[in-house]
Each structure stands twice: as C-alpha cells, then as structure tokens.
Structure 1
C-alpha cells in the first residue's frame, strides 16, 4: 500500500508565529525577572519596589527591567549600605544571572506553543 502526503510549507506563517511566540516569551521572561528582583529590592517604604517596570520591544525582541527612583542606582551598586535580610545591593543583577536559564526556558516554551 502506497500513501502520498502533500505538505504545504508557508515560511511567512512560520516566521510570523515564531516571532509572536518569542515576543510573548520575552514579555513573560522580563515579568518573571521583575517579580524575582522585587523580592530582593531594599525596602523601607516600598517606593523603590513599586517603581519597578518591565518593558518589551516586540520588533527587536528585547526586554528590560528598570527601577525608577533617584536612589535606585545607589541602592543597587553601593555594597556598604545596610539592608534587611534577603534584600540588598545587586537586587537586579543577581536575579538576572540566577534566572537566565529559566527565562530562556520561558521564551522557548512560548515559541514551541506558537508553532503548534
């Protein structure tokens, strides 16, 4: 018994779906990083923690997490400041390194999902 299969390949659709999945993945990944970093932000009144934002450029497939207070950089970089346990300097840099593999998995899962 012989069977024939005809496959139509639409590269534009595959590329479009891949890009859409990657964009969603980047958004979820930077939101994950924001959540993890917020748990480590030095906290006194919560202003620094609340100033955290996650943004994504869907065309370039890039994302960023930022904290926007006048003292955010000093709190991040000054290793001599005293903080509550579990909170302190490098509140964004350390989670980025620690969560990189998880963020890659989040993006990959969204690309796979988009190609189903």
Structure 2
C-alpha cells in the first residue's frame, strides 16, 4: 500500500486567492469603465476623462466613478439629448451589460491562483 502525506497551507491559499480576487475586481472595474466611457455623454470630454476604477482590497469592493460636479445629474437625467451612442445611465447600463464579462474576468483570476 502506498501512503502519501498532504500538507494544506490554508493561510497561504487564502492570501493568494484574496490577492487574485483584488486583481480580478480591478480588471472588472476597468472593463466596466471602458464600456461606460463609450457611452458617457460628451461635450468637451471632461466627464469621460474624470472616470476612474478603484478597488478596496481590504473589503474586496470595486468602484467605478466619474468626478465632475454634474456627473450624477448627467447620469440620471433621462430627458436630456445626447450624441448618437451616448446616453443617460451610462454607468449603470455598462455594469448591467458587462455582467457576464465581469464574471469571466473574476473566475479567470481566481482559477489562476490555483494553478
């Protein structure tokens, strides 16, 4: 009979998976930002240039934000007219439409942590 000994380094595995999750969230947030930048209303592109993606690795939360005084109003105002392809709800619709790609990005990074 063959015997084998297995040592599980749970703390190390947890740390590597957590790092992979942080990378995954950042890639996912960057993807959503990219999609959103293709939809954000344009005048002089200040709103588009203000877009950022970030991750809080402690809480494993990602954020995509636009930082102009009018970003929230521009996002929510459904009656304003925009150039073709540009629209209100530019960030919300980008996240909703990117759901499958975000899942793939996260899954791929977590999978790589186990290789």
Q: TM-score scaled to structure 1, two decimals? A: 0.94
Which residue is equivalent to 2:36? 37
Give me the CA root mean square deviation: 1.0
Q: In 1, distance between residues paired with 2:99 and 2:41?
A: 22
CA deviations over 1:35-83 (Å, ceiling 9, x no partner): 1100000001110000001111011100000001111111111111110
Which residue is equivalent to 1:80? 79
Q: In 2, distance between residues paired with 1:57 and 1:13?
A: 20
Aligned residues: 115
Q: TM-score scaled to structure 2, two decimals? A: 0.95
Q: Which runs of 5+ in 1 are unaligned?
A: none
Q: Which runs of 5+ in 2 are unaligned?
A: none
Q: In 2, distance between residues paired with 1:104 and 1:62?
A: 14
